[in-house]
Amino acid sequence: KWLAARDAVCEQVMAKGWNETAKAFVQSYGQDNLDASLLLMPLTFFVAPDDPRMLSTIDAIRTPATKGGLAADGLVYRYDYKATHDGLEGSEGTFNMCSFWLVEALTRAGKSDPARLAEARLRFEQMLGYGSPLALFAEQTGSSGEALGNFPQGFTHLGLISAAFNLDRALDGR
């Protein structure tokens, strides 16, 4: 029963979650908005990290936000808060956990593409610079590099650990 439900969900996401015009998986069916949570698809083994649709989605997310993506100076926004009506007022910074998700998605895709692995390493090293002197990370990073939101943020640290572990293994060829 559970396997059938799993397969049905997978088939639906693959059919309705992919936006041919955007050339990316999207935040919700029938829309073209990106969402950083899409980076979890290869991390949770929902889709292969080198699936052409996933690679295209990673590329769309790492495109600068000013050009329709979610990236800003190598960091990643959760989603386009101007296009997504989440009920919250004001702007937000990039989300550090999402930036570590991108590092890990690039790392996994980098097993068959050395340029993506090199980019993962560069982005990881860049992210380390946003930690406090005690190597603690906030929830978000503001446009001037300032720590925003919850501090320290446990989820960000889980993303850091997972990205570091998988990047280290990939760089060691394991």
Mind listing the pLDDT tens digit of every residue in the chain (174 residues)? 999 999 999 999 999 999 999 999 998 898 889 999 999 999 999 999 999 999 999 999 999 999 999 999 889 998 887 777 666 666 788 999 999 999 999 999 998 889 999 999 999 999 999 999 898 999 999 888 888 888 988 899 999 999 999 999 999 876
Q: Give the per-residue pLDDT at 53.
A: 95
Residues 6+ apart with CB under 8 A from 90: none
Q: Cβ(123)–Cβ(64) under 8 Å?
A: no
Q: CA–CA separation, 91 vs 129, rounded Å?
A: 23
Instruction: Output the pLDDT for position 24.
Output: 95
Q: What Cα–Cα distance (Å) separates residue 43 from each residue in 6, 72, 100, 169?
A: 17, 22, 11, 14
Phi-psi region of 35 (alpha: psi -120 to 50; beta: other; left: phi over 0): beta
- The predicted model scores a pTM of 0.92
Do 101 and 159 contact (CB within 8 A), yes or no? Answer: yes
pLDDT at 162 (0 to 100): 96
